[in-house]
Chains A and B, each alone.
Chain A
Amino acid sequence: SAVISQKPSRDICQRGTSLTIQCQVDSQVTMMFWYRQQPGQSLTLIATANQGSEATYESGFVIDKFPISRPNLTFSTLTVSNMSPEDSSIYLCSVEARVNTEAFFGQGTRLTVV
Chain B
Amino acid sequence: GENVEQHPSTLSVQEGDSAVIKCTYSDSASNYFPWYKQELGKRPQLIIDIRSNVGEKKDQRIAVTLNKTAKHFSLHITETQPEDSAVYFCAASIRTTGRRALTFGSGTRLQVQP
Residues of A within 8 A of B (CB): 31, 33, 41-45, 48, 59, 92, 94, 96, 100, 102-108
Contact = CB atoms under 8 A, between A and B. Distances in A.
Q: Which of B42, B44, B45, B106 has the most CB of A within 10 A?
A: B44
Contacts of A104: 46
A4 B102 CA distance: 18
Contact of A102 (B49, B96, B104, B107): B49
B100 A43 contact: no
Contacts, number: 42
B101 A105 contact: no
16 contacts: A31-B100, A31-B101, A33-B102, A42-B89, A43-B44, A44-B104, A45-B101, A48-B100, A94-B102, A102-B34, A103-B46, A103-B102, A105-B43, A105-B44, A105-B45, A107-B43
B103 interface: yes
Interface in B59-103: 89, 95-96, 100-103
Interface in B17-72: 34, 42-46, 49
A102 B46 contact: yes
A107 B42 contact: yes
Contact of A45 (B46, B102, B105): B102
A33 B43 contact: no
Contacts of A94: 102
Contacts of B95: 100
Nearest to B109: A40
B101 A92 contact: no
Q: Which of B43, B45, B100, B105 has the most CB of A within 10 A?
A: B43
A96 B96 CA distance: 13
